Amino acid sequence: MKRLLKGGRVIDPVNGIDGVHDVLIDGDRIAAVGRDLPVDGASVVEIPHGLVVCPGFIDMHVHLREPGQEHKETVATGTAAAVAGGFTAVACMPNTTPVNDDANVTAYILSKAAEAALARVYPIGAVSRGSKGELLADIAELKQAGCVAITDDGHPVKTAMLMRRAMEYAGMFGIPLIEHCEDPSLKGDGVAHEGYIAATLGLRGMPGACEALGVERGVLLSELTGSAFHVAHMSARASLRAVRKGKEAGVRVTCEVAPHHFTLTDEALGSPIPYDTNTKMNPPLREAADRDAMLSGIGDGSVDAIATDHAPHHYDEKKVEFDRAPFGIVGLETAVSLSLDRLVHAGLIRLPRLVELLSVNPARILGVAGGSLSAGAPADVTVIAPDLRVRIEAARFRSRSKNTPFDGWELRGGVAATFVGGRPLFVNPEAGLAV
Partner 1 sequence: MSAPVITKVDETPAITSLRRKDLLGIADLAADEITLVLDTAEAMKEIGSRPIKKVPALRGKTVVNLFFEPSTRTRTSFEIAEKRLSADTLNIAIASSSVVKGETLADTALNIEAMQPDMIVLRHSSSGACHLLSRICRSAIINAGDGMHEHPTQALLDAFTIREHKKRLQGLKVAIVGDLMHSRVLRSNIHLLTKMGADVWVCGPPTLIPTDITRSGVRATTRVDEAVADADVIMLLRIQLERMEGAFFPSLREYFNVFGMTEARLRLARPDVMIMHPGPMNRGVEISSEVADGPYSVILEQVANGVAVRMAVLYLLAGGAEHETAA
Residues of the shown chain interacting with partner 1 in the complex, contacts defined by CB under 8 A: 188, 194-196, 198-205, 273-275, 316, 319-324
User: By three-state DSSP, how is residue 122 classified?
Assistant: strand
Backbone phi, psi, residue 104, to 5°: -70, -40
Out of 59, 152, 183, 309, the active site residue is 309
CA atoms within 13 A on the CB side of 56: 34
CA distance 322 to 49: 46
Contact 124, 100 (CB under 8 A): yes
Contact 279, 285 (CB under 8 A): yes
CA distance 431 to 415: 8
Element (H, E) at 10: strand 2-12
Contact 30, 375 (CB under 8 A): yes
The smaller minimum CB distance to partner 1, of residues 38 and 196, is found at: 196
Query: What is the nearest approach in angstroms of partner 1 to the Cβ of residue 269?
Result: 9
Query: What is the nearest approach in angstroms of partner 1 to the Cβ of residue 279?
Result: 11
The smaller minimum CB distance to partner 1, of residues 278 and 302, is found at: 278
The smaller minimum CB distance to partner 1, of residues 173 and 327, is found at: 327
Contact 238, 207 (CB under 8 A): no
Query: What is the nearest approach in angstroms of partner 1 to the Cβ of residue 192?
Result: 10
Query: What is the nearest approach in angstroms of partner 1 to the Cβ of residue 233?
Result: 22
Query: What is the nearest approach in angstroms of partner 1 to the Cβ of residue 263?
Result: 22
The smaller minimum CB distance to partner 1, of residues 203 and 394, is found at: 203
C-alpha 166: how far from chain center: 23
Query: What is the nearest approach in angstroms of partner 1 to the Cβ of residue 317?
Result: 10
The smaller minimum CB distance to partner 1, of residues 292 and 300, is found at: 292
The smaller minimum CB distance to partner 1, of residues 203 and 303, is found at: 203
| Distances in whole angstroms, Cα of residue 157 to Cα of each of 95, 116, 207, 340 | 13, 32, 19, 34
Quick one: CA dihedral 72, 77, 79, 81, positive or negative? negative
CA distance 283 to 164: 23
How far does the chain reach from its first CA to its final CA, in angstroms? 13
Element (H, E) at 335: helix 335-339
Within 10 A of 332 (CB to CB), how many other CB atoms are there? 27
Query: What is the nearest approach in angstroms of partner 1 to the Cβ of residue 197?
Result: 9
3-state secondary structure 215-259: HHHHHHHHHHHCCCEEECCCCCHHHHHHHHHHHHCCCCEEEEECH
Decide: residue 317, CB within 10 A, 0-12 exposed, 13-18 middle, 19+ buried: middle
Asked about 18 being catalytic, the answer comes back as no
The smaller minimum CB distance to partner 1, of residues 49 and 324, is found at: 324
Provide the annotated active-site residues.
Answer: 309
